[in-house]
């Protein structure tokens, strides 16, 4: 049977895993050294840090590596990543 109101069909919501893949190009890796210098021991600390510098919670995702050696942050907007890199908010990196 044909649907009576096809204009009312809604698209399936995008999953977190799909967004994580889509935002791969806007990724920031924080090493164990970076997180230690910034006092970011938990994911909640990362959320608080990002919020304190003015990045809203719906504009990023955070994942801890399975080996706990780094934290990866992926941003929905490239300007948020650029802001962090240009503002000198991260500890100095060698190399």
Contact 71, 62 (CB under 8 A): yes
Q: Please state, in angstroms and rounded to a whole number, the distance separating the CA atoms of residues 40 and 25.
A: 23
Tens-binned pLDDT, residue by residue, of the chain (95 aa): 566 666 666 778 889 999 999 999 999 999 888 888 999 888 899 999 999 999 999 999 999 877 767 899 999 999 999 999 999 888 775 54
Contact 16, 58 (CB under 8 A): no
Please count the other Cβ atoms lying within 10 Å of the Cβ belonging to residue 50.
21
Contact 40, 71 (CB under 8 A): yes
pTM: 0.80
């Amino acid at each position: 049977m044909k649907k009576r109101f096809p204009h009312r069909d809604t698209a399936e919501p995008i999953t977190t895993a799909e967004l994580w893949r889509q935002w791969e190009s806007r990724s920031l890796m924080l090493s164990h050294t970076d997180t230690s210098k910034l006092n970011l021991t938990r994911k909640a600390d990362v959320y608080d840090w990002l919020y304190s510098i003015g990045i809203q919670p719906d504009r990023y995702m955070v994942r801890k590596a399975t080996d706990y050696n780094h934290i990866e942050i992926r941003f929905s907007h490239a300007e948020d990543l650029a802001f962090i890199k240009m503002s000198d908010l991260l500890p100095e990196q060698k190399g």
